[in-house]
Amino acid sequence: MPSRVVLKVLASFFTVKPEVRYARRMARVARWDRPVGGTLDRISAWANMLLADHGILRMVYLNRHRVTPNFWRAAQPAPPDIAQAAADGVRTVINLRGGREYGSWPLEREACERHGIALVDFVVRSRGAPDRETILNSRDFFAGIAYPALAHCKSGADRAGFVAALYLLVHEGKPLNEAMAQLSPRYGHFRFAKTGILDAFFERYRQEGEAKGIGFLDWVATVYDPEALERDFKPHAFSTFVVDTLLRRE
């Protein structure tokens, strides 16, 4: 049996129908997008963070790295991680996940309030062509937050790497190669899975923009074609199976 067919068969045992996945997500949001209540509620939030949101793995390895003196990247932090960030001088935590689907969210919000850290959203995708308006708004976003800042997604591998690269390009004015180093296997990023569309985005800028002397944001505003990027990018089946089905990355 061809390997691609084998992967599809295996994936069918793990894959949930989109409508079922959406209904479950909305139920989780309704449950956790609120302040933590009493002791039992707090225990429930911690259990959900550790088990449902895979936080037990992050207790072992947070995938936390310093990009510049003013910018950190990491996986979803638990309250002790927020306390450590505060001790390190972090003034802003950037939530790249957006959704309020797990006990991680109210615990993070509460911990940031307790330590006087601003918690802001900058939602990005890891498996689709980057949104043009989000990229164009990034200059003002990075200019408007207090530093040092820590940006996090769920695993610290894909969205955290993308936004770290964006920060280096847009806010720090660093070269493209230096920025793209944030999307690396060192951080758990798989460029041949669906998440590789983030690499393809920057590679397209290299070809269509940098090679022609066009600035990054100018290229995004005038040349970048998200639909063409989606159409042209072809992820590898095995890498996608590992990232989406086995690791269950967001």
Task: Give the pLDDT confidence of 147-171 residue by residue, as tens digits.
Answer: 999 999 999 999 999 999 999 999 9
Question: Any idea which of 33-37, 70-74, 183-187, 189-193 has the lowest mean pLDDT?
Answer: 189-193
Question: Any idea which of 107-111, 139-143, 163-167, 193-197 has the lowest mean pLDDT?
Answer: 193-197
Is pLDDT larger for residue 154 or for residue 13?
154
Using CB atoms within 10 A of its CB, is residue 20 exposed (0-12), middle (13-18) or buried (19+)? exposed
pLDDT band at 123 (very low <50, low <70, confident <90, very high): very high
* Residue 145, domain extent: 3-246
Q: Residue 4 has what pLDDT?
A: 56
Q: Residue 191 has what pLDDT?
A: 84
What is the Cα–Cα distance from 137 to 229, expressed in whole angstroms? Answer: 20
- Percent of the chain topping pLDDT 70: 83
For the segment 1-10, what is each residue's pLDDT rounded down to a tens digit?
445 555 454 4
Instruction: Tell me how many domains the chain contains.
Output: 1
Secondary structure of the chain in HEC code, one letter for each residue: CCHHHHHHHHHHHHCCCHHHHHHHHHHHHHHHCCCCCCHHHHHHHHHHHHHHCCHHHHHHCCCCEEEECCEEEECCCCHHHHHHHHHCCCCEEEECCCCCCCCHHHHHHHHHHHHCCEEEECCCCCCCCCCHHHHHHHHHHHHHCCCCEEEECCCCCCHHHHHHHHHHHHHCCCCHHHHHCCCCHHHCCCCCCHHHHHHHHHHHHHHHCHHHCCCHHHHHHHCCCHHHHHHHCCCCHHHHHHHHHHCCCC
Q: Are 190 and 237 in contact (CB under 8 A)?
A: no
Per-residue tokens: 10: 């295996």
Q: Residue 25 has what pLDDT?
A: 65
Q: Residue 242 has what pLDDT?
A: 52
For the segment 198-240, what is each residue's pLDDT rounded down to a tens digit?
999 999 999 999 999 999 999 999 999 999 999 999 876 545 5
The residue behind tokens 């072992």 is: 60
Residue 22 belongs to domain with CATH number: 3.90.190.10
Averaged confidence pLDDT in the chain = 89
pTM of the model: 0.85
